Amino acid sequence: MVTVALDSYMFIGLIQGESAAIKKMFSDLGRGRLSAVASSLVLAEVKYRIGRELGEDRAVEACVFVRAISNLSLVDVTPEIAEAAASLRLRYYSPKSQLSFADCIHAATALSKNCDFLATGDEDFSAIKELKTELVKER
């Protein structure tokens, strides 16, 4: 079975209902056609973004929703993932590819779990040579 890593872009896009491609990926996930991995960091990113835009009650609901997604494994940031993320940022951050620490944690999580690819809307991930990415744009 294909295992995909997901960053916060994918969850926020699903919650906001803005992309047919994102909806299809989560539909395939729910039907067991693929499995997914995400860093537990997505909960912080989703809660902040949804809370800022729609209020804290909706943000809490969004986190409950994310935790309940079928065939999704939330992975805690271990010391090994944290160090791998720092190494990725040292190696790939540049003015052209401004990978955030959060992005590097998502990438390190994907690599640590041997995911087939990382689905994202963030083009900066393409700088990471060790990681296959699939760019999913809204609309």
**CA gap 131, 125 in Å, rounded:** 8
Stretch 20-37: mean pLDDT: 95
Is the predicted pLDDT of residue 88 greater than 90, yes or no? yes
Reported as a single tens digit per residue, the pLDDT across 108-123 is: 999 999 999 999 999 9
pLDDT at 138: 60
Size (the chain), residues: 139
State how many domains the chain has: 1
Sequence letter at residue 70: S
| Contact residues for 55 (Cβ-Cβ < 8 A; gap 6+) | none
pTM listed for this prediction: 0.94
Kindly tell me the burial class for residue 6, based on how many C-beta atoms sit within 10 Å of its own C-beta (0-12, 13-18, 19 or more): buried
**CA gap 19, 102 in Å, rounded:** 22
| Contact residues for 19 (Cβ-Cβ < 8 A; gap 6+) | 13, 136, 137, 138, 139
The enclosing domain of 127 has a CATH number of: 3.40.50.1010
Domain encompassing residue 116:
3-135
Model confidence band, residue 19 (pLDDT cutoffs 50, 70, 90):
confident
